[in-house]
Amino acid sequence: MITIFIDGSEYEVNEDATLGHVLHEVKSARFGSSYRGLFCGMGICFECVVKVDDDLYKRSCMTKVYPGMQVNTNSL
């Protein structure tokens, strides 16, 4: 297990998970105020984009989690 931060809250997650999977579990796949979320799950639709560290447009379904990851789901 590793620790990541989503919208300022700390979560212990499986180190083999994608960020999209984690967000689906903890945020019910709702990102931001527009209720975006996982759609295709394979990097095509960009509905799962969130801010990760300094990267404003990270597709969460294509991104593996790593220790200390800072995620902002309200950046768009």
* Residues of this chain that bind ligand FES (CB under 6 A): 20, 38-41, 43-48, 59, 61
Q: Minimal distance in Å, beta carbon 60 to ligand FES?
A: 6
Is the CB of 13 or the CB of 37 nearer to ligand FES? 37
Q: Please, which residue, 13 or 18, has the CB nearer to ligand FES?
A: 18
- DSSP character string of 7-60: TTEEEEE-TT-BHHHHHHHHHTT-BTTTTB--SSSSSSS-TTEEEETTEEEEEG
CB of 63 to ligand FES, least distance (A): 9
Task: Enumerate the β-bridge partners of residue 6.
Answer: 9, 71
